[in-house]
Amino acid sequence: MSLIMKRIFRNMAAMVATAVLLAGCADDEKTAIPSFLDVNVKFTHAAKPEVGQTMVTNLYYGEISASEVMTAVPGMQVQSVLTADMIRSGFRVTFDNPDKSTGTMYVCSYVDINENGIIDEGDLAVFYNNLKFEDMESGEKFPTNVIGEYAINLNHGIVYGEVISDDDIVDADGNKYTAVTIGSQQWLKENLRTRHFNNGEAIPTDYDNAGWIGLMKEDGTGQPAVAEYQDADLVQDGLYYNWFAVTDERGICPEGWRVPSDDDWIELEECLGMPSSEAKLNNWRGADARIGEQLKTRERDFGEATDIYGFSAMPSGQREKDKGTFSAYNADAYFWTTTVAPLVKQGVRRVIRKSYFTINRGVISKVAGHSVRCVRGGKAPEPKSLAIDISFDGAVTPRAGQVLKAYLYYTSVAGVKVAESTPDATVSTTLSDTHISDGVTVTFENIQESAVNVYVAAWVDVDADGAISAGDLAAFYANAGFEEVERQEAEATNVAGQESLQFSLTKVYGSAPVTVKDINGNEYPIVTIGSQEWFKTNLRVTKYKNGDAIPTDIADADWIKLTSGACAAYPDTDIAINGLLYNWYAASDARGLCPEGWHVPTEKDYQTLEIAIGMAEETAAGKPGWRQTDKEGTKLKANVEGFNGSDLFGFTAMPAGQRAEGKGNFNNIGTYAYFWTCDEFTDNPEKAYRRVLQAKYETIANSVISKLAGYSVRCVKDSE
């Protein structure tokens, strides 16, 4: 038996699909002209049949959707013994005198390459019509209307998912894998299950639930780990790795293979039919091409699945990020990428769900335990470069001969002193008079292929003391939150694919702190957006500015009767991330919630913010409701799982939910962000103005609500 005959294909060939509407020639009143249907066949795939094998072509008169083609009875059948010339150049199959009275016909043609008497994996098969046969899937689309024509063309060999031998695909533990070719990439057909790095060192394991979720530090670094789910099938489901394991420099994929980046997954998705304009969006994508269905295995109950490329994604579930327990087994497939998310404690992943036919691109905590598929090949990435246009238009300017230093970082360096940080790339430029008057461009070449987010700092040592200190010019791009340098421009964190950035070194270092403390000692990072400075996180203070305690621990029934200030913590949430929830009486109390020099924003403050991020002035100041000019809601929302935000300006609105005004209960965490203004609604003194962001919406709601609601609060700096 030939090598081709020995190949195992994950799925049999795709079915070409479209109804054949046969008219033939018009019948003469005296003599009926015989009708016929020609089927032109070519073998186009690398896997071809052999001389002497038989190709069977069936014609069906009735709808046979959802039935197995081998059990359906054809109206006509032609068998063709293949010659070398037929395989090389193609040939024609003719059905003479088909029954035209049916009007609609379906054609199936197949070669039983593995000679087992049935159509199954490894065979070449193709359909002319979009039939949902049990063992065949639609591959190519052909025109439906062939009235007046007598021939259709079938290209045999649309064999998606050609399998590569497992002889040379071995991991560090000796486990063997098969792989599937999809486009220019090759992917493992099975989930990774190695317990060792490629240098032989063991990947840490046997963590209990608490130990598992504690493997990451506050700065986003952490320890690699792998886990096995006792109820899973090790060979089918593989092991569950955290993000630190999949990105460890010691490597976990077989030699010559790599853990895929976000770009690798995008290339796969586009190969399966996802538009490029959709591929880089977050959330569930690929509905038109039904990408999820194309990738799901048919060997398990995984909902609607075609697996036409042989990727065979298994519903292996995950090890959860916040509990350390296993979940979603036999329901979802989760896959890591090596790409870090805008928030340093998260990585980018893919999710395929049993009940969905789409695929999710999103982010998740790096401690989540996900499956890994290794990849090799693919399109050669275009070299990334980043040009930064810098101008000097502040009150203080450098002198000719001084050196401008630009730093680039691949991971967030929030809280790190620039002078003590280690940049991933540095560009230095000695300034001329022209640079100082007209600006200067510095360029970082060959940015790391896997880089999605980069952070840039630039500074000039004006006082020539060798360190960033008071009197120097310093700025940075992309919300990096350095401890000793203010970020001047409120721009996007994701600069992959952009050609240039622009910012001005206008402020002198030391003009403002990077963080602000409340009366409890909690620190809040600051983000500059337009002319305003805002807290980057939700308020969590438990005292008014004069030291008086804000009442808390109030029962639901009592909460809805309050006429004075109170606060509450949403149960079982991280207050450092989500903050506390305050009623309006607390937000507007004369004793003050915000630190000295800061205040709870007014309606006008929020309008100023909305205009700064792109909303038209007439929209911002217009009638209440869900409003937008250019997806301003998305720009403010945090880029966290399920909230669908881009966090373009670093406001990082968290979906912290609310305490409801009607019952005093907590709800909507993970899907809604609510923020108080300090402005009362003049038409009804029991209500006040708020802002609302919702996971599914790109808009911002400006509305009024009962003062009893418990909402998040952001502080904004007093205007000078």
Strand runs labelled E in 63-207: 76-81, 91-96, 104-111, 124-128, 137-141, 151-156, 162-164, 179-182, 185-188
Structure tokens at 513: 């702190």
Contact (Cβ atoms closer than 8 angstroms) between residue 492 and residue 646 = yes
618 sits in which H/E element: helix 617-620
- Beta-strand relationship, 687-694 and 700-706: antiparallel
User: Hey, CA dihedral for 698, 704, 705, 707, is it positive or negative?
Assistant: positive
Distance between CA 297 and CA 312 in Å, rounded? 4
Distance between CA 450 and CA 462 in Å, rounded? 35
264: phi then psi, degrees, rounded to nearest 5 = -60, -45
Distance between CA 345 and CA 364 in Å, rounded? 8
Structure tokens at 171: 């991991």
What pLDDT score was predicted for residue 108? 74
Three-state DSSP class for 436?
Answer: helix
Ranges in the chain, pLDDT < 50? 1-34, 65-67, 128-164, 395, 477-513
In sequence order, the 6+-apart residues with CB closer than 8 A to the CB of 642 are: 362, 655, 670, 671, 695
What pLDDT score was predicted for residue 146? 26
pLDDT digits (tens, 9 = 90+) for 193-227: 999 999 999 999 999 999 999 999 988 899 999 99
C-alpha triplet 296, 297, 299: angle, nearest 5°: 155
Contact (Cβ atoms closer than 8 angstroms) between residue 544 and residue 626 = no
- Burial call 140-178: b when 16+ CB within 10 Å, e when fewer: bebeeebeeeeebebbbbbbbbbbbebeebebbeebebb
What pLDDT score was predicted for residue 21? 28
Which amino acid, residue 388? I
pLDDT digits (tens, 9 = 90+) for 128-172: 443 322 222 222 333 222 222 333 444 443 332 334 455 578 999
In sequence order, the 6+-apart residues with CB closer than 8 A to the CB of 719 are: none
Closest by Cα among 705, 703, 693, 696 to 660: 705
Q: DSSP of 10-73, one letter per residue? A: SSPPEEEE--EE---SPPPSSSPPPPEEEEEEEE-SSS---TT-EEEEEEESS--TTS-TTTSP
What pLDDT score was predicted for residue 382? 58
Contact (Cβ atoms closer than 8 angstroms) between residue 35 and residue 98 = yes
Distance between CA 442 and CA 405 in Å, rounded? 9
DSSP 8-class letter at 411 = S
Contact (Cβ atoms closer than 8 angstroms) between residue 640 and residue 655 = yes
Q: How many CA atoms lie within 13 A of 422 on its CB side?
A: 0
Structure tokens at 176: 């063997």
Q: Where are the alpha helices (H) located in 275-432, listed in sequence order? A: 276-279, 291-295
In sequence order, the 6+-apart residues with CB closer than 8 A to the CB of 680 are: 588, 687, 688, 689
What pLDDT score was predicted for residue 654? 96
Closest by Cα among 654, 670, 616 to 540: 654
Structure tokens at 638: 């945090």
Closest by Cα among 591, 589, 584 to 562: 584
